[in-house]
Amino acid sequence: MKGSRMKKRMIWLLMFLALANFSTPARAQAAEGDSAAVTAAVDQFYAALNTMFTGDAGPMKEVWSHADDVTYMGPAGGFQNGWPEIEKVWDDTAALKLGGKVVPEKMEMRIGEDLAYTFNYEVGENFDQNGVRQQVSIRATNIFRNENGQWKMIGHHTDLLPYLEKNSGK
């Protein structure tokens, strides 16, 4: 009896390992696809951010989810919840026409089934309301969610930038 039970367990273990080996390449392929899609979403966010510095918030509105559970804690301060509050921030920030360019550096990315996040630095420069060049070097966390096959930003959190904090009235 013991030998029979042991034999059945070994067969089940071998079947499990065989199935695990067959499913691993499929998940690895999906992860590679997700990685490319999330990287594209990150690239779109930073392109939209730089376009916003010219006064156009349109591309930024495209990369964000318009859901009620999105959050934003940006370099001007504050804590916005839900798309209407965040959309207003992007419109107000675009109106400042900060110019310059900001890029991500030293990015770490993690991808799950429907959520992905990045940790990175945002570096570059903008101009304050007096036209004075301001260096940007802040930490940022970006959170994305897969919505109907598209990775949309649902959270952005950065360090504060004093020249923006002053302009925000906070």
pLDDT in tens, 75-103: 999 999 999 999 999 999 999 999 999 99
Q: What is the mean pLDDT of the chain?
A: 86
pLDDT higher than 90, residue 138: yes
Ranges of H-type helices in 53-100:
58-63, 83-96
* Class (C level, CATH) for 36-168: alpha beta
Cβ atoms 34, 116 nearer than 8 A: yes
Q: How many Å apart are CA 98 and CA 104, to the nearest integer?
A: 17
81: its two tokens: 């919840």
Strand pairing partners for 117? 110, 143
Q: What is the pLDDT of residues 112-130, one digit of tens each?
A: 999 999 999 999 999 998 9
Q: How confident is the model at residue 165 (pLDDT cuts 50, 70, 90)?
A: confident
51: its two tokens: 């376009």
The pLDDT score that the predictor gives to residue 127 is: 95
The pLDDT score that the predictor gives to residue 11 is: 52
Burial of 123 per CB tally in 10 Å (0-12, 13-18, 19+): middle
The pLDDT score that the predictor gives to residue 168 is: 52
